[in-house]
Amino acid sequence: MPAPRKYPDELCERAVREVRTTGRPIAHVAKDLGIHCAAGVRRAEADAGERDDRLTTAEHEELKQLRQEVAELWRANEILKAASALFAQELDRPRTRPTK
């Protein structure tokens, strides 16, 4: 399956404006413009507080950032676990006194 085409932001913004000002269905506006920007229209509606079933752009960005932070913390935790295991092995070894 080929990757979806990326449309210029201006074209998607135009579709959003047209849907919001004319009240025409998203599918009709998208067909007229030859694009598929339904997600952009839905995102704009969520940003305007008109939809509760989608995240706003700010919420989406925050979620993305928090997921990156969680992944980084998991990596740091794994490093700390490995280091503590290494130090525990070092402490468990019997110590010998140097002979004089």
User: Left (φ > 0), alpha (ψ -120 to 50) or beta: where does 4 sit?
Assistant: beta
Rounded mean pLDDT, 66-78: 98
pLDDT tens digit string along 3-56? 555 677 787 788 888 888 888 888 888 788 787 777 777 788 888 888 888 889
Q: Are 38 and 30 in contact (CB under 8 A)?
A: yes
Alpha carbons 62 and 55: distance in angstroms, whole number: 10
Map out the domains of the chain as residue ranges: 1-54, 57-92
> Which of the 8 DSSP states describes residue 24?
-
Q: Smallest Cα–Cα separation from 38: which of 50, 25, 51?
A: 25
- For residues 30 and 36, is the Cβ–Cβ distance under 8 A? yes
Mean pLDDT of 68-84: 97
- The backbone torsions φ and ψ at residue 31, rounded to the nearest 5 degrees and listed phi first, read -65, -40
